[in-house]
Amino acid sequence: MIYLDNNASSPLAPQVKQFLLEHLDIYANPSSFHTLGKNSRQLLDVAREQVAYLLGGSPREIIFTSGGTESNNLAILGSLPCAPKGQNHIITTKVEHPSVLNTMRYCEKQGWDITYLPVCKSGLPDLDYLTNSISSRTFLVSVMYANNETGVILPIDEITRILEKYNVIFHVDATQMIGRQPLSVSDHSIDLLTISAHKFHSLKGAGALYVKDGTRISSTVQGGKQERNLRSGTENFHNIIAMGQASYLAKTSFLDKMDKIEQMRNHLQNFILHNIPQCVVNGIRAPRIANTLNVSFRGVLGDVLVRELSQHNVYVSHGAACSSGAREPSHVLKAMNLEWDFITSAIRFSFSIYNTQQQIEDLKELLPKVVDKLRNMPE
C-alpha cells in the first residue's frame, strides 16, 4: 500500500497510539472536584502545555476544540460580535478551506461586507489587492498558512506588515502547517490560529484555537463554561491528550524528517515532469510545504485517476477530501486561473514521515502506465 493522502488525514503515530492505550481507562471528568477529576485535569493541562510548546504561545492561550472546522468557526463567528460599531468589513482569500469560505458566506448573509482576495497563477494572494481593500472599517482578516490542495505557503509576514497600521484581528488557519514547517505565533502578529490533530498523526475530532492574550472573542457554544468559557462542553479527553503527545512529537521529531520528505516529493515531481508528457505542477512557483505535490495530467479526469490508482493500492486525492464527494472542480485551482483541462485533471499527492523511497520507486513504475492507459481510453 502507498498512502499519499496525508493532507486529508494522517496515520496515528505509534508513540501516540501507545500513550493512548496506556490512558484509555481514565474516565473521570476533568471538571470534577475529586482526586480522579483532578488527575484528568492534570493530563489536559500537560496537553495544553504541549500544544503551546508546539505553537510558541502560552498554555492559557490554547482553547481545545473538535478540529480545524470548529476552530475556524470559533475564530470567525466568535470574534465578530466583539466588533466596534462601523467595523463591518472582513478580508479573506478565494482559496480558503470550506470551513472558512462557507462561514464567510454565512456572515455575508448576516450583513458583513467580505472581500475575497484573488490569487495569482502561482497560488499566492494579490497583496496589492489587500493593501487597497483594507481600511479602518476592516475588523477581521482570515487567511490560511498553507493551502491544503497545492501546499502553497501564504506570505504571513508580508500580510502582517500590511495589517500593522490597522486595528484588525488576524486569524490564520495553520491546519496544514503543523509538523511540516516550523511555526511560532510569537514571530508574527497572529491573534488567532487554527490547528487540527488528525493532520499531524493524532486522532480525528480534536483541534485547538490559539487565542492571543487580550484578543476580543466570545463563545459560540453556551454551556458549562469549559475552555475559559470559549468552548463549553466536557473536553474530548482522550483525543486531546493524544493531540498533546503528537504536538510534542511534531516539534521534537517530525520536523527533523521534513528534508527527507521534501527530497521524496521533489524526486517524484521531477520524475513526472520529465517522463509523463503534458503535466503541470500546480503551485510550483510559490513556496510550498514540503509534503505536497499537486499535478494536472492533461487529458485524464482527476477523479478517474484517483480511482484507478486506488485499485493498485495507491491512495491520493482529487482536490480536497472534504469536497471530493461532491465532484466539484477545485475552487483553489479555479482561483489560480488554470485552464479547465488542468483543473479537472489535477490530483494531489501528500506525503508523511511514514512514506519510503521504495514507495516512490514503485509509484514511478505504476504512474506512467496508468496515465497512459486512461489517456488512450475510448471516450
Site for ligand PMP in 155-214 (CB under 6 A): 173, 175-176, 196, 207
DSSP characters for 210-222?
A: EE-TT-----SS-
**Closest to ligand PMP by CB, 97 or 318:** 97
Determine if 10 is a binding residue for ligand PMP (CB under 6 A).
Answer: no
Cβ neighbours of residue 86 under 8 Å, at least 6 residues apart? Answer: 137
C-alpha cell at 131: 493593501
**Closest to ligand PMP by CB, 273 or 322:** 322
Whole-angstrom distance, CA of residue 269 vs CA of residue 22? 41
Site for ligand PMP in 25-54 (CB under 6 A): none
Residues carrying an active site annotation: 322
Determine if 292 is a binding residue for ligand PMP (CB under 6 A).
Answer: no
Site size toward ligand PMP (CB under 6 A) is 15
Q: Which of 366, 332, 13, 329 is nearest to 146 (CA)?
A: 332
Determine if 330 is a binding residue for ligand PMP (CB under 6 A).
Answer: no
Backbone phi and psi for residue 332, each to the nearest 5 degrees, phi listed first: -70, -50
**At closest approach, how far in Å is the CB of 180 from ligand PMP?**
12
Tell me the window of 66-74, 124-132, 162-170, 270-278 that interacts with ligand PMP (CB under 6 A). Answer: 66-74
Helix axes 357-375, 302-311, angle to 10 degrees: 120
Tell me the window of 62-70, 246-254, 339-347, 355-363 that interacts with ligand PMP (CB under 6 A). Answer: 62-70
Whole-angstrom distance, CA of residue 174 vs CA of residue 187? 14
**At closest approach, how far in Å is the CB of 274 from ligand PMP?**
30
**At closest approach, how far in Å is the CB of 99 from ligand PMP?**
5
Helix axes 68-79, 98-109, angle to 10 degrees: 30
Q: Residue 22, exposed/middle/buried by CB under 10 A (0-12, 13-18, 19+)? A: exposed
Residue nearest to ligand PMP (CB): 68
**Closest to ligand PMP by CB, 148 or 219:** 148
Q: Which of 97, 188, 201, 318 binds ligand PMP (CB under 6 A)?
A: 97
Determine if 99 is a binding residue for ligand PMP (CB under 6 A).
Answer: yes
Backbone phi and psi for residue 18, each to the nearest 5 degrees, phi listed first: -60, -45
Whole-angstrom distance, CA of residue 280 vs CA of residue 282? 6
**Closest to ligand PMP by CB, 322 or 374:** 322
Tell me the window of 68-76, 234-242, 256-264, 371-379 that interacts with ligand PMP (CB under 6 A). Answer: 68-76
C-alpha cell at 23: 490512558
Asked whether 72 and 97 are in contact (CB, 8 A), the reply is: yes
Tell me the window of 63-71, 183-191, 218-226, 355-363 that interacts with ligand PMP (CB under 6 A). Answer: 63-71
Determine if 67 is a binding residue for ligand PMP (CB under 6 A).
Answer: yes
DSSP characters for 59-81?
A: GGGEEEESSHHHHHHHHHHHHGG
CA angle 22, 237, 199 (to 5 degrees): 90
C-alpha cell at 17: 497510539
**Closest to ligand PMP by CB, 206 or 279:** 206
Whole-angstrom distance, CA of residue 9 vs CA of residue 63? 22
**Closest to ligand PMP by CB, 159 or 279:** 159
Site for ligand PMP in 230-269 (CB under 6 A): none
**At closest approach, how far in Å is the CB of 341 from ligand PMP?**
25
Tell me the window of 65-73, 154-162, 270-278, 350-358 that interacts with ligand PMP (CB under 6 A). Answer: 65-73
Q: Which of 26, 36, 301, 322 binds ligand PMP (CB under 6 A)?
A: 322
The residues that touch ligand PMP, with contacts defined as CB under 6 A, are: 67-69, 72, 97, 99, 144, 148, 173, 175-176, 196, 207, 320, 322
